[in-house]
Structure 1
């Protein structure tokens, strides 16, 4: 069954711009002036692997029922009633307004699943933190005009919109974990996925570059349901001359953006080469959980000693995803496949992990007692309090004084201790600084 999504919000927050992006064409008129959209407009939308019906609505305004604005509001209320999911959009550049608060209450009363969207987040001075006050959950920060943040919107929608290819595609634990397998050419990606499937589903061979576009296959092992994307091998950009290869690599990058876990496949006979490190860095920048798989491990002597050495090498070369699982696998013999699936499942759980505010702030107090932030120009930087506004990946906000003066080394100290104290191995950790008074602090 096709789900229906309604985009609602006050005038001029960018609803029609997002509508046009979701339907893939300029169906709705867009202008900087508020109130351009008056009628409901519907279209077939698609984002990533999701398909749905999407409704663009007029801006919600307080008005008498018989007025034009009142009739427009009635049309929007009808769209809310007809929708399965609501995208409630605010303008992150302007911040939360009384009108936003009023219509957020209208949306909550509808009882429909609602995703809060903070549009124009790319603008200078934009801040989505105030959106938490609306009580609609974590805001999805995006730019409907530029397309930034669409991967985050996919993940938010995936909680409510069934995958069109996944009608029967849920395992015992629920929705499939989306996994992209990235690596250099001829690392054995297709061979590994064929071994996971137990059949020759993907073309393989000794020639590098056989895989050109991203192919998805569904895998289930021991109750863990995965959707695995095979991707083209990634060489250094300077060595890519062929236009088709450039498109293939771009397709692989898209697979990484829409994945939840990235398996970086390295050749066990030549691990941790420069391009391998670049690929891990790409996955970290995209905010994905990382699992390192060493293929062709059947060619390695002293596997136990080799595995220990590779874990040490991974932590040395890849501090940004320290603790990422390192699994020895062989697509030819099938060795290590179960360990790989369990590692993906564990990485996915860490990627979704949340830390409660109370233990987080107790931890912050301990860290600052053991190692206070340095004084800059004779003035001590105060770290006030901390919260985790979102997961996927774990993202934290630290409220402090003089955020611009806090040294990068001290931020690394905090991130490294966050990772060990709250068991967050192998995932990117985002730490954002904000200068704002603690609303819970006692007033003088």
Structure 2
């Protein structure tokens, strides 16, 4: 089940980032940074009343002149409308209702997406309520008074956000078909890949970076099995500043990854693996999705007998935090090795859902502990009592130990490697939860 996506939209200086941080800071456990992944705080995982969702800040570059602000806001609103399940539209009680608020509200209203209107900087409800009522004029429902900086009214705001989730969760569950997100930098060949697989040009492809329409779901049947491909291709406008294109493509990537079971991260063979590729792959890793690294445009590379090994080594080095990722070399243009892509997707899907019996897991763990003694600290040695698998997608294990502090990352990684030696789990991350159990 993919998590709902909630986006924050609003003019510069109304407090978008303050609200984002208020929601993403205290109430939220931000996933610990994966080594090798830099995190732009564009998105965060939020939990409220047993609901998990992904929060997105559509903000970005804040220009100075009025007309640019409006076009920027429209752009942000469009991104939110395209990608979010629920939109928080934030306004400022002290500046009052402004012309651009009205214009953006019109767009949001026409989108028929649930919109929650937050009126920020209401530090004193009694004093400001008459000014809050003015925002009823936007015609998008009841204004919710908040103060992001003093964290007033945030709980009520979140209550209203999660009310809209119930309908969403049912839709996706009925569709059993595997969902494959194709992600990567602009111009790496995402749409060409999907086109080649469908055998027709349903997606408009051209060579200008960032010309494809919005994420499109394409149904593809291969050997009698149906798959849904989610293409995260680009943006509407070409006159974009580089950081902005990057920000928006990251937002698109996050939303596509959320909905997918397996993520195909495309890398341009002619450019080699870049920091942006590492960032994009990191999103899939943090979300616990199956990952296939597809090196595209392989037909365009001068090769000798060592090329593949050198290329693979470089990818493994940059993506050291995800050694499980499958790597393949393809050409979306010529169709080289594309049939193999489906075999790999099927393997990764199977591994994402694989369950290992508790008995076998404990045998593996006992043997691992015998081979390499657990770490100790100040005379106290780590003891591992018991391991069991508690979930799939990704496979998740709980290990009971005598002292959590002693269970270092490296020893967990060692246990993981032992499990992988027996069961492979190719293409999928494994999650480990360490629990303390007092010695009986």
TM-score range (shorter-chain normalised) is 0.5 to 0.7
SS at match of 1:251: helix
Written as runs of structure 1 = structure 2, the 5 A alignment for 1:60-209 is 161-163=173-175, 175-209=176-210
1:353-411 deviation line (CA, Å, top 9, x unaligned) = 11110000000000100001112110111110000100100111100011122222212
Aligned partners of 1:157, 1:260: CA distance in 2, in Å? 16
Aligned partners of 2:399, 2:160: CA distance in 1, in Å? 29
Aligned partners of 1:157, 1:406: CA distance in 2, in Å? 40
> Does the aligned pair in 1 maintain the 2:330–2:338 contact within 8 Å?
yes
Q: Give 2:73's aligned residue.
A: none
Aligned partners of 1:373, 1:337: CA distance in 2, in Å? 44
SS at match of 2:370: helix
Greater relative contact order structure (CA < 8 Å, 6+ sep): 2
The size of the alignment, in residue pairs, is 287
Aligned partners of 1:368, 1:233: CA distance in 2, in Å? 49
> Does the aligned pair in 1 maintain the 2:264–2:291 contact within 8 Å?
yes
Check if 1:259 corresponds to 2:271: no
Post-superposition shift, 1:198?
0.3
Written as runs of structure 1 = structure 2, the 5 A alignment for 1:223-302 is 223-232=224-233, 239-241=242-244, 246-247=247-248, 249-302=250-303
Change (3 A) 1:397 1:146: farther
Aligned partners of 2:256, 2:214: CA distance in 1, in Å? 10
SS at match of 1:294: strand
Post-superposition shift, 1:415?
2.1
Written as runs of structure 1 = structure 2, the 5 A alignment for 1:234-383 is 239-241=242-244, 246-247=247-248, 249-302=250-303, 305-383=306-384
Computed over aligned residues only, the root mean square deviation of the Cα atoms, in angstroms, reads 3.4
Change (3 A) 1:252 1:214: farther
Post-superposition shift, 1:247?
4.7
SS at match of 1:384: strand
Q: Give 2:391's aligned residue.
A: 390
1:119-168 deviation line (CA, Å, top 9, x unaligned) = xxxxxxxxxxxxxxxxxxxxxxxx98886xx89x95x985xx423xxxxx
1:234-259 deviation line (CA, Å, top 9, x unaligned) = 9xx994236xx755542331111110
Q: Where does structure 1 lack aligned partners over 5 or more consecutive residues?
A: 1-12, 26-142, 164-174
Aligned partners of 2:160, 2:373: CA distance in 1, in Å? 42
1:25-51 deviation line (CA, Å, top 9, x unaligned) = 9xxxxxxxxxxxxxxxxxxxxxxxxxx
Change (3 A) 1:145 1:373: farther
Change (3 A) 1:311 1:24: closer
> Does the aligned pair in 1 maintain the 2:204–2:213 contact within 8 Å?
no
> Does the aligned pair in 2 maintain the 1:211–1:231 contact within 8 Å?
no
Post-superposition shift, 1:220?
1.4
Change (3 A) 1:420 1:207: same
Q: Give 2:416's aligned residue.
A: 415
Post-superposition shift, 1:342?
1.2
Post-superposition shift, 1:319?
3.2
SS at match of 2:410: helix
> Does the aligned pair in 2 maintain the 1:269–1:299 contact within 8 Å?
yes
Aligned partners of 2:192, 2:219: CA distance in 1, in Å? 15
Aligned partners of 1:418, 1:320: CA distance in 2, in Å? 17
Q: Give 2:148's aligned residue.
A: none
Q: Where does structure 2 lack aligned partners over 5 or more consecutive residues?
A: 1-47, 53-84, 88-157
Aligned partners of 1:144, 1:261: CA distance in 2, in Å? 31
> Does the aligned pair in 2 maintain the 1:292–1:326 contact within 8 Å?
yes
